[in-house]
Chain A
Amino acid sequence: MTKECLRIMISTGHLGTAPSAPESFHRGMESGPDYLVADGGSSDPGPVYLGEDICMGHFAEEEVELFLTASRRRGVPLIIGSAGDTGSNSRVRLFVDMVRRIAEQHRLPRFKVGYFYSEVDPDYLHRKLRSGQRFAGLGGFPDLTAEEIDRATRIVAVAGVHPFVRLLDMGCDVIVGGRCGDICFTAAPCIRAGFPEALAYHMGKMIECASLVAEPFMGKETVIGEITREDIRIVPYHPDQRCTVASAAGHSMYERENPFYEHGLGGMLDMRDCRYEQATDRVCRITGARWVPAAQLRVKIEGARKVGERCMGVVGIRDPFVVRNVDRAIEWCRSSVAKRFGAVPYELYFHVFGRDAVLKELEPVKNASPHELGIVVEGVAPTGELAEKITDFAVRMFFLARIPGVKGTAGAAATTKKTMRSSPGYMWNVNHTVPIDDPMELFPLHTTEAGV
């Protein structure tokens, strides 16, 4: 007999960034959900993590331990998407090893683990490009060229529901996904159980960030999405949170260019006619989404290229005259660096906190009169040694800035600490879609076992 309702539980919008709150998590688990899901990644933390193939979060093991022990105890399948922030192959392996290690530590009874990879071989893209296929840019990027493919240190494709559905078909109890769409690990078990695709994808969208769909604002608290053949319902498990029409409708437009459409591998979610109603004081009922299958399958790919090694230095300015003339001091630094290092490729940025460091050219306040300024000097160069030399020199030039009329003659800027080594500088250079024939062709599946 098929189920009338499927209940999907989620406690975090980004696994590993901070621990899930245990109270609402356990309350949710006690209600007996059908699946526990978690989004492990995002492009939000920037290109460094994919480029360097490293993790951002420091709480991944702690969260996976909570999820794995609680879900295995109740026999609830656990699905993790975009493992290790980026969903690269090494991050998937890291998470599979983590699952095995935790299972052994807790002496969990043996279970089946499924996982899939998402990295894309550059040769595959070159062959497609040579055969005349076009990789359209997203978000204002021009079409992808062969040069940019080669400049990317790593490229991942963003999976749809398909590898998750296949691994569930294979009887996996725990799934560790490579890079995938945020709404897919929730939609997959719903679609597999025969619920309407439109509602399944929309529920994925609504609960992707867990408690951010409810109010008041709280992160890392548990919510459960309930899907039937007619509707979806969002139920918060923190006692002080409510999922209201305003909070749910507000969340449906979060992080997206446009509130009416969501594109994914296989089709487009059309939310123009969605209806949000208050089912109970704390539960929102949602209907009306449509799913429009794509005529041509297109998979999104993401990649980052290295710009160089990077250092940062911080200077402070208190002399009101130098504060007012800070652009002249910056110009002095820039021209001094250009004179001394003009022969090597470098990038130099001055983030002027107290004026426009956060908004840069978007800052409408042009006449601010702060009594002090903090300036972060960011230097990027081909080697670490050069990055440090250039950044340190730029900081030194602030101190030595020659501004006619300045009263102080012992230094135009306050400095402290050594110039600091930062992560290398990377830049997103692949943000495109690739036409494909089979939604599985870039996502090889694997299974293994864990536990005792």
Chain B
Amino acid sequence: MATRKLSELAGTIRSKNAGVNQITFDIIFNDRETYERVKRSRVFDPQRIAARFGIPPERISDCVEFDPANAIKFTIYRTRPSGSPGDWDILGCQQYGPLLDLEVPWD
């Protein structure tokens, strides 16, 4: 099956704190067609996101498609609040790294 890397398909891939105990991920596409194809691929099912990050699905608190922005958005719980001793990403702004190489089925 042919695949494309998410970094070739999305215009914006980012992560950021959503409150002090969650990190939210936004994947925004420049055009509706690419967005719809990625939606149909189901690569952003909570189960698959959990598998990508190696975490139990319960750590995903929200996962939605946001049509006005051609965007897919999901949010995870931190294990400790942001900025606690041991945390090295106080803003949660570098957690999106593993999404760039995500292979999206593209037949």
Contact = CB atoms under 8 A, between A and B. Distances in A.
A195 B77 CA distance: 37
A45 B20 CA distance: 10
Nearest to A379: B85
Nearest to A275: B68
B68 A307 contact: no
B61 A349 contact: no
Given A44-B17, A274-B68, A362-B98, A254 B26 contact: yes
B85 A347 contact: yes
Interface string A86-111: 00000000000000000000000000
Interface in A68-120: none
Interface in B71-99: 71, 73, 75, 77, 79-86, 88-91, 94-95, 97-98
Contacts of A429: 81
Contact of A362 (B20, B53, B85): B53
B63 to A, nearest CB: 10
Q: Which range contains the number of A residues in contact with the other chain?
A: 35 or more
Contacts of B55: 361-362
Contact of B75 (A249, A258, A359, A431): A258
B20 A246 contact: no
B17 A258 contact: no
A250 B12 contact: yes
A431 B68 contact: no
A27 B106 CA distance: 47
A289 B19 CA distance: 22
A47 B19 CA distance: 12
B73 A47 contact: no
B20 to A, nearest CB: 4
A380 interface: yes
Given A249-B69, A257-B19, A431 B91 contact: no
A257 B71 contact: no
B83 A259 contact: no
A426 interface: yes
Interface string A239-278: 0000001100110111111111000000000000011100
B64 A349 contact: no
B53 A364 contact: yes
B64 A260 contact: yes
Contact of B70 (A138, A246, A254, A431): A246
Contacts of B16: 254-255
A79 to B, nearest CB: 24
B75 A378 contact: no
A126 interface: no
Contact of A253 (B66, B77, B85, B90): B66
Contact of A425 (B11, B68, B84, B89): B84
Contacts of B18: 139, 255-257
A140 B86 CA distance: 19
Contacts of A349: 85-86
A45 B83 CA distance: 8
B54 A255 contact: no
B20 A358 contact: no
A250 B64 contact: no
A127 B60 CA distance: 35
B41 interface: no
Contacts of A332: none
A92 to B, nearest CB: 21
27 contacts: A43-B17, A45-B90, A47-B84, A140-B21, A252-B69, A255-B16, A257-B18, A257-B62, A258-B62, A259-B69, A259-B73, A260-B64, A276-B68, A349-B85, A351-B88, A359-B89, A361-B54, A362-B55, A364-B53, A364-B54, A376-B88, A425-B84, A426-B83, A428-B83, A428-B84, A429-B81, A431-B19
Given A253-B66, A428-B83, 6 more contacts: A44-B82, A47-B20, A249-B70, A256-B24, A347-B85, A378-B85
